[in-house]
Amino acid sequence: MPADLNLRWSHRFSTVLSGLLLATLIFLAFGHRVFYGVPAVWAAAVATVLLLIQLLPLDGRFYSFLLERRGALFVLRVLPVHLLYYFYSGVTFCAIWVWHHAGRPTAFRRA
């Protein structure tokens, strides 16, 4: 995939990790009681923490900018919205990629 739209690989990796984070949280809410012998709540909590540990350094410059400008409480409020941004951007990319490769016309018809 060409590097365009001012996206770095860290942004693309953040998109994948935010999707995994959402899937983990859904599993936490609706998952089974036991996951490979470990209570599902603990397994999902550990996975969530591990994903956040991987996500935060990828956008560390952005979060440190926000921390410097507005403080820690603001960063904590922005973090879920920023992860949501990565998630819906990834979903949109996948939808458009499927649309393009399914042979759909690129122009919309007027009714």
pLDDT, averaged in runs of 10, over the chain (111 residues): 65 84 78 71 80 86 93 93 88 85 68 60
The pLDDT assigned to 65 comes to 95
> Is residue 21, in this structure, part of any structural domain at all?
yes
**How many folded domains does the chain comprise?**
1
pTM: 0.69
Domain that holds residue 62: 9-101
The pLDDT assigned to 108 comes to 63
The pLDDT assigned to 35 comes to 66
> Is residue 78, in this structure, part of any structural domain at all?
yes
Rounded to an integer, what distance in angstroms lies between the CA atom of residue 19 and that of residue 90? 8
Exposed/middle/buried for residue 105 (C-beta within 10 Å: 0-12, 13-18, 19+): exposed
Exposed/middle/buried for residue 51 (C-beta within 10 Å: 0-12, 13-18, 19+): buried
With beta carbons less than 8 A apart as the criterion, state whether 73 and 39 touch. Answer: no
> Is residue 17, in this structure, part of any structural domain at all?
yes
> Is residue 106, in this structure, part of any structural domain at all?
no
> Is residue 82, in this structure, part of any structural domain at all?
yes
Please report which residue ranges of the chain form alpha helices under DSSP H: 9-30, 40-58, 60-70, 72-101
